[in-house]
């Protein structure tokens, strides 16, 4: 079965931010492929919950840290649905620890998942976008790539690497109607942020946010949808902050 709808692929599509992005892109008429990790045991329940809200997503399993897994996952999308127009590289993990306690495994797994995934996934869809003569790649980074964070040497390094990738890709594909941008959210109301110890959140993080609250995933999804739209054709190689004023530069 192939679809005449444009196809959008969202990695980490069942997490707090990914879910909001999937819904917002579906609202804009995309056929949305929500990619999830092999460890996710909630796929059926998540799809059912979305259906109750009127969203019919396709779930696709992938380990974004592995190139061959990304190749197989996108190949199954090609066969069942068609070429990909929009890729949102959203999947990421934290393994927070102060540097002296950070293990090599915590370094490797964060870099492979958060940064190698940019290459692993973009490589699978770029030929589709070239043959369509149109494409959007939106890479989700973090405020902590711009300012660093206590306990996040691995995460901040992985997220800072993303924008170098974005800029190079943007230059290479600007003449082909493919835009490539980075979105750098601040602290959002998601499960990832809920793992931050409550005292650290109350005493250190919230006081740094001038808007005085965590961001909502839907607020970031709105920006992603704009970048994915025809209207954003002149924005490429940008790193757009959406952090409640926590970091300005
Ligand atoms: N700034 C300065 N000092 C800090 C600090 C901070 N932000 N946080 C902790 N410390 C200090 C403590 O006060 C303590 O000091 P003393 O030894 O003098 O008492 C010391 O560091 C504790 O060090 P430990 O290595 O023992 O720390 P720990 O093992 O208890 O926990 C941590 C360290 C895991 C990093 C924990 O503080 C933590 O989880 N912090 C939150 C990190 C964070 O912001 N993560 C963001 C996750 S959300 C996300 O990543 C999404 C996004 O993109 C924004």
Beta strands in 132-249 (DSSP E): 135-140, 178-185, 239-242
Contact 205, 230 (CB under 8 A): no
For 59, counting Cβ atoms within 10 Å of its Cβ (0-12 exposed, 13-18 middle, 19+ buried), the class is middle
**Distance from the CA of 113 to the center of ligand 1, in angstroms?**
22
pLDDT at 249: 86
Domain boundaries, the chain: 7-242
Please work out whether the CB of residue 99 comes within 6 Å of at least one atom of ligand 1.
Answer: no
Q: Is it the case that residue 222 has pLDDT exceeding 70?
A: yes
Give the pLDDT band (50/70/90) at residue 2. Answer: low
Bridge partners of 179, per DSSP, are 136
Q: Is it the case that residue 126 has pLDDT exceeding 60?
A: yes
Side by side, which strands form the sheet with 58-61? Answer: 58-61, 31-36, 7-10, 84-89, 135-140, 178-185, 239-242
Mean pLDDT in residue range 49-53: 98
Per-residue pLDDT tens over the stretch 62-83: 999 999 999 999 999 999 999 9
pLDDT at 3: 58
Q: Is it the case that residue 45 has pLDDT exceeding 90?
A: yes
Average pLDDT along the chain: 97
Bridge partners of 27, per DSSP, are none
Contact 13, 217 (CB under 8 A): no
Residue of minimum CA distance from atom 53 in ligand 1: 142
Per-residue pLDDT tens over the stretch 8-25: 999 999 999 999 999 999
Q: Is it the case that residue 1 has pLDDT exceeding 80?
A: no
Bridge partners of 35, per DSSP, are 60
Report how far apart the first and last C-alpha atoms of the chain are (Å, whole number): 47
Distance, in Å, from the CA atom of 112 to the CA atom of 158, rounded to the nearest integer, reads 8
Per CATH, the number for 7-242 is 3.40.50.720
Contact 30, 55 (CB under 8 A): no
Please work out whether the CB of residue 151 comes within 6 Å of at least one atom of ligand 1.
Answer: yes
Residue of minimum CA distance from atom 1 in ligand 1: 150
**Distance from the CA of 47 to the center of ligand 1, in angstroms?**
35
**Distance from the CA of 96 to the center of ligand 1, in angstroms?**
8
Mean pLDDT in residue range 200-213: 97
User: Which of 99, 148, 150, 189 to mutate to test ligand 1, by most ligand atoms within 8 A of the CB atom?
Assistant: 150
Beta strand 31-36 pairing with 239-242: unpaired
Residues annotated as catalytic are 155
Q: Is it the case that residue 241 has pLDDT exceeding 60?
A: yes
Residue of minimum CA distance from atom 4 in ligand 1: 150
Give residue for tokens 């998942």: 113
């Amino acid at each position: 079965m192939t679809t005449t709808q444009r196809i959008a692929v969202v990695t980490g599509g069942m997490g707090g931010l990914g879910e909001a992005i999937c819904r917002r892109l579906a609202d804009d008429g995309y056929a949305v492929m929500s990619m999830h990790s092999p460890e996710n045991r909630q796929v059926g329940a998540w799809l059912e919950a979305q259906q109750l809200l009127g969203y019919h997503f396709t779930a696709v399993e992938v380990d974004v840290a592995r190139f061959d897994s990304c190749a197989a996952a996108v190949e199954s999308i090609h066969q069942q649905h068609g070429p990909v127009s929009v890729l949102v590289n959203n999947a990421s993990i934290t393994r927070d620890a102060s540097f002296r306690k950070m293990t090599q495994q915590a370094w490797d797994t964060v870099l492979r998942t958060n940064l190698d995934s940019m290459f692993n996934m973009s490589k699978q869809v770029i030929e589709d976008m070239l043959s369509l003569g149109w494409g959007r790649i939106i890479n989700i980074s973090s405020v902590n790539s711009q300012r660093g964070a206590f306990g996040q040497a691995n995460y901040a390094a992985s997220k800072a690497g993303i924008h170098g990738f974005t800029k190079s890709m943007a230059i290479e594909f600007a003449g082909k109607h493919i835009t490539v941008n980075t979105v750098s959210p601040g602290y959002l109301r998601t499960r990832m942020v809920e793992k931050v110890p409550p005292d650290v959140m109350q005493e250190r993080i919230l006081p740094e946010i001038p808007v005085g609250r965590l961001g909502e995933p839907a607020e970031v999804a709105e920006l992603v949808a704009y970048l994915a739209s025809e209207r954003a054709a002149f924005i490429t190689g940008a790193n757009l902050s959406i952090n409640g004023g926590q970091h300005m530069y």
